[in-house]
Amino acid sequence: MIKVQYAARSERWNTHEAPLRAAFADAGLAVDLRIDHAPEDVDYVVYAPNSDLQDFTPYTRCKAVLSLWAGVEKIVGNQTLTMPLCRMVDPGLTAGMVEWVTGHVLRYHLGIDNTLLTQDRWQPMVPPLAEERPITILGLGALGQACAEMLAQIGFPVTGWSRSPKSIEGIACSHGDAGLRDALATAEIVILLLPDTPATHNTLNRETLALLPRGARIINPGRGPLIDDDDLLASLDSGQIGHATLDVFRVEPLPADHAYWAHSNVTVTPHIAAETRAITAARVIAENIRRGEAAEPFLHQVDRSLGY
Ligand code: NDP
Ligand code: OXD
């Protein structure tokens, strides 16, 4: 019997238990899934970085920690976590992110706010076609690539930026410092889907925000530290940045006195861009346990040296 420990907030157990049991059965895995195994008996941990489990030292036979979250910045530096760590790449989470990003892009592109503000008068404002609105996505991983492909399918000219060189049909791919400058130079809308690592902190700062065309819009469903908050606020005040839609913040919940709440050109959403979906995520976890038992490489294993 494979012993799997569920280590996420207790209120999530009701959501995840049945889908995990079903996925293990479908994968032909004999699993004893519990929230209270003795640590030394555990083969795999299904894990949320905000759970109480932070010391993995007693998990002496654990073969992998399988994160329910895509972002692993809260756990990747944990020195007691010496076993493989896999992040979540879930088709349900990806679909949610594509829908959220597309919706917020179309809000900007179609000028929906203006339409709502002019309900008392006939004031035609015809938006350009998508093909006339260049968009840049910073991060071309599981989420960035899926969003890039959807936006390109709608007709937007999409540029994507990543750490390593990439080739994706229909997307202009760039990388490195020079690539970032090029990717920002024409972007009317910038979407951040980078992980939170030391190398990505303040990717958007005074200097890089100044590279954008005046009035560009920012959409950040990635992580708060990707943007220098003071520099973004200054760029919003000067009009260099026209508007920002922010889902993630350095401190969450966003403190009630934070300037973003009161800023007329900022939309705050409470870290809801995309959530792990229990049924599809359970299948990914079951597949990784199957791989572990078959001594095959894990899917989506985190590279500790890169931090994602
Ligand atoms: P991936 O690891 O699949 O992709 C990360 C991308 O960022 C890759 O393209 C990677 O480049 C690129 N990247 C990493 N470091 C750098 C760097 N220094 N310079 C340039 N590019 C870099 O992650 P996901 O797509 O699955 O998720 C992205 C992030 O989205 C998560 O880390 C999380 O923070 C956030 N998220 C937010 C949610 C929300 O609800 N708001 C929900 C889920 C995730 P390369 O391809 O070369 O490796
Ligand atoms: C995640 C998130 O990382 O919800 O999965 O932000």
What DSSP line would sit under 129-141, residue for residue?
PGGGS-EEEE--S
Please give the pLDDT value at position 62. 98
Distance, CA 195 to ligand 1 centroid (Å)? Answer: 4
Q: How far is CA 33 from the centre of its chain?
A: 28
Residue 143 beta carbon below 6 angstroms from any ligand 1 atom: yes
CA of 95 to the centre of ligand 2 (A): 13
HEC readout, 148-212: HHHHHHHCCCEEEEECCCCCECCEEEEEHHHHHHHHHHCCCEEEECCCCCHHHCCCECHHHHCCC
Distance between CA 271 and CA 254 in Å, rounded? Answer: 10
Global pTM exceeds 0.85? yes
Given a contact cutoff of 8 angstroms between Cβ atoms, the answer to whether 143 and 97 are in contact is yes
Would you call 104 helix, strand, or coil by DSSP?
helix
Tell me what pLDDT residue 260 has.
98
Sign of CA dihedral 78, 83, 89, 92: negative
Q: 145 alpha carbon to ligand 1 midpoint, in Å?
A: 10
CA of 121 to the centre of ligand 2 (A): 42
> Which ligand 1 atom is the nearest neighbour of the CA of 195?
32
Of 222, 229, 221, 135, which Cα lies nearest the Cα of 183? Answer: 135
Pairwise CA distance, residues 63 & 188, whole Å: 45
Diameter of the chain by CA atoms?
Answer: 70
**What is the best residue among 12, 272, 276 to mutate for testing ligand 2's pocket, by most ligand atoms within 8 Å of CB?**
276
- Ligand 1 pocket, 70 CB below 6 A? yes
Strands 172-175 and 158-162: parallel
Q: Residue 56 has what pLDDT? A: 98
pLDDT of residue 65: 98
- Best of 86, 94, 143, 182 for a ligand 1 pocket test (most atoms within 8 Å of beta carbon): 143
Q: Whose CA is nearest to atom 48 of ligand 1?
A: 163
- Of all ligands present, the nearest one to the C-alpha of 245 is 1
Distance 223 CA to ligand 1 centre (A): 9
In tens digits, the chain (308 residues) has pLDDT values of 999 999 999 999 999 999 999 999 999 999 999 999 999 999 999 999 999 999 999 999 999 999 999 999 999 999 999 999 999 999 999 999 999 999 999 999 999 999 999 999 999 999 999 999 999 999 999 999 999 999 999 999 999 999 999 999 999 999 999 999 999 999 999 999 999 999 999 999 999 999 999 999 999 999 999 999 999 999 999 999 999 999 999 999 999 999 999 999 999 999 999 999 999 999 999 999 999 999 999 999 999 999 99
Torsion of CA 52, 229, 261, 189, to 10 degrees: -110
Report which ligand 2 atom has the smallest distance to the Cα of 274: 4
Of 294, 269, 281, 279, the C-alpha closest to 87 is 281
Do the beta carbons of residue 21 and residue 63 sit within 8 Å? Answer: no
Q: How far is CA 196 from the centre of its chain?
A: 9
Which residues belong to the active site? 223, 271
| Number of residues written out for the chain | 308
Q: Whose CA is nearest to atom 5 of ligand 2?
A: 69
For the chain, residues classed under CATH 3.40.50.720 are: 2-90+276-293, 91-268
Query: Which residues form the pocket of ligand 2, taking CB atoms under 6 Å from any ligand atom?
Result: 69-71, 88, 276
Quick one: CA dihedral 26, 27, 32, 37, positive or negative?
A: negative
Angle between helices 278-293 and 10-26 (to 10 degrees): 60
Ligand in nearest proximity to the CA of 67: 2
| Alpha carbon distance 158, 178 (integer Å) | 17
- Predicted confidence at residue 84, as pLDDT, reads 98
Strand order in the sheet with 216-220: 172-175, 158-162, 135-138, 189-192, 216-220, 241-246, 266-268
Overall fold of domain 2-90+276-293: Rossmann fold (3.40.50)
CA distances from 138 to 95, 113, 173, 223, 245 (A): 18, 25, 10, 12, 15
What's domain 91-268's architecture?
Answer: 3-Layer(aba) Sandwich (3.40)
Of ligand 1's listed atoms, the one at least distance from the Cα of 72 is 32
